[in-house]
Amino acid sequence: MTPSGYLRYPTIRGDLLAFVADDDLWLVPADGGVARRRTADRAPASHPRISADGSMIAWTSRRDGPPEVYLAGTSGGSAQRVTHWSDRGTRTHGWSPDGELLVTTSAGQPFVHHHWAYAIPVDDGAARFSGLRRLPFGPVADLAMNGRAIALQGGWAQEPAFWKRYRGGTAGRLWLSQAGADGHGPAPVRRVLDGLRGQMSCPMLVAGRLAFFRDH
């Protein structure tokens, strides 16, 4: 009998799958096999994201207290703490087409729900926080880039489990841009699917399509 487990935050890149179980980060081949525990921090991990070449993985962890972004190689080695914001809204979102880490935080903002997106350069397997740049999108809760488009989620950055059947004014809103898709400069954005009521989250750009969660 195959044992069951409570697996969260799955993400896949090529033939490598990452997920969180027992508050730790695990890696396993996408076609099956034995999962390797990548962290053992005795602290909650979440939102892993694998780099385009599959060599690096970034995630959010509470290892040192408030959530921060960490980076490590998928094949082993120690983890590097990337951010030092001490903000409960800090979160990993993925990678830009240029190989930068995409993160959000409300650090330095007047309200905890004002999350701004940042790009952090990664060179030779290490992140350079000194090269941090704030992306020109205004407050966002989530984002995805693929070089051809940028998907942005506005609204409160909470997991969908906290928002089931919510229909209030701070529900997520979805925006899309197909110009300036590298995130290096201002780009015109348009709101999409604004006629759908309900909470939305997790915009994803996959094979030329836009995918997302919504409970409308």
Give the chain's domains with CATH numbers: 1-96+106-112 (2.120.10.60), 135-216 (no CATH)
Nearest to 112 by CA among 67, 69, 150, 145: 67
Give the separation between CA 123 and CA 109, rounded to whole angstroms.
Answer: 28
- Per-residue pLDDT of 144-167, as tens digits, reads 998 888 999 987 777 777 778 888
Give the separation between CA 137 and CA 115, rounded to whole angstroms.
Answer: 10
**DSSP assignment letter at 82:** -
Helices (H) and strands (E) in the chain, counts: 0, 20
Which has the minimum average pLDDT: 27-36, 67-76, 156-165, 179-188? 179-188
Give pLDDT, residue 180. 66
Bridge partners of 105, per DSSP, are: 116
- Per-residue pLDDT of 166-205, as tens digits, reads 888 778 889 998 866 677 766 788 999 888 888 888 899 9
Residue 2 has which token pair? Answer: 């195959």
When pLDDT is cut at 50, 70 and 90, the band that residue 1 belongs to is low
Q: Position 101: which residue type? A: L
Distance of CA 55 to the CA centre of its chain: 17
Residue 123 has which token pair? Answer: 């060179």
Residue 59 has which token pair? Answer: 């995630």
Residue 13 has pLDDT above 80, yes or no: yes
Cβ–Cβ < 8 Å for 163, 195: no
Residue 57 has pLDDT above 60, yes or no: yes
